Amino acid sequence: MSVVSRLPQLDHGGIWLLELNKFHADAVQTEQDRWLKFFTEGERLDPGALPTWMHTDEMKQAMSTLKAFSDKDRAYHAYQARQNYLREQRGIQRHLDELKTETEQQRAALEQARAEKEQAQAEKEQERAAKEQERAAKEQERAAKEQAQTRAEQERAAKEAALAEIARLKAQLQDQTRTH
């Protein structure tokens, strides 16, 4: 099978099938070889130092078209690179925002837990203070009962002393009435 197959030619052109992987010529001998070599090596050619087989008007125009496509391709890739960079930056920023939100939520949860702990401690302190007041009130009540008991004993002792004094005075009075 040949490198070039020609389909029927029309009045204004023709269709050619080129199998570039089968083309292996070092020297250009025909116009067909020139085009095949251009299609296989055109990307690697230096526009400032073209080989002699490229010095035709058609090849210069083809090289100009290839350069325009390459420039557009480079511009397209630069644009894609910028878009990829911006997408990555947005992704990084979104991730940072998510981390910041998560950190703020964790900080708020920690502060709420700390506030709840402080409130629980305050409630325990109030409870302890209430128990202390209750104990103090019971102690005062006990002291008041002891004072009342002591007063009652003092009053009883005073009554007993008064009764003893009355009994002594009665006995003395009876002794004096007997002697007189």
Written as one letter, the residue type at 98 is E
H/E element, 16: strand 16-18
Calpha distance 73→69 (Å, rounded): 6
**CA-based nearest residue to 66, from 44, 84, 83:** 44
> Which tens digits make up the pLDDT trace of 134-160?
999 999 999 999 999 999 999 999 999
Is residue 36's pLDDT more than 60? yes
pLDDT at 43: 81
Q: Choose the weakest-confidence range: 4-8, 54-58, 139-143, 175-179.
A: 4-8
pLDDT score of 112 more than 90: yes
Average pLDDT for 96-123 = 97
**How distant, in Å, are the alpha carbons of 21, 25, 35, 59, 65 from that of 39?**
11, 12, 6, 11, 13
Distance of alpha carbon 117 from alpha carbon 127, whole angstroms: 15
CA pair distance 111, 116, nearest whole angstrom: 8
- List the structure tokens of 172: 């003395």
pLDDT surpassing 50 at residue 127: yes
Question: pTM score > 0.75 for this model?
Answer: no
Contact by Cβ (8 Å): 47, 68: no
pLDDT of residue 125: 96
At 4, is the pLDDT very low, low, confident or very high (cuts 50, 70, 90)? low
Largest CA distance in the chain: 186
Task: Name residue 53's amino acid.
Answer: W
Q: What whole-number distance in Å separates Cα of residue 87 and Cα of residue 10?
A: 50
Residue 52: which pLDDT band, with cuts at 50, 70 and 90? confident
| Average pLDDT of the segment spanning 5-12 | 61
Candidates 53, 9, 49, 61; CA nearest to 29 is: 53
In tens, the pLDDT along 55-105 reads: 888 888 988 888 888 888 888 889 899 999 999 999 999 999 999 999 999
Mean pLDDT of 108-120: 96
Nearest to 38 by CA among 15, 62, 55: 62
Place of tokens 């002291």: 143
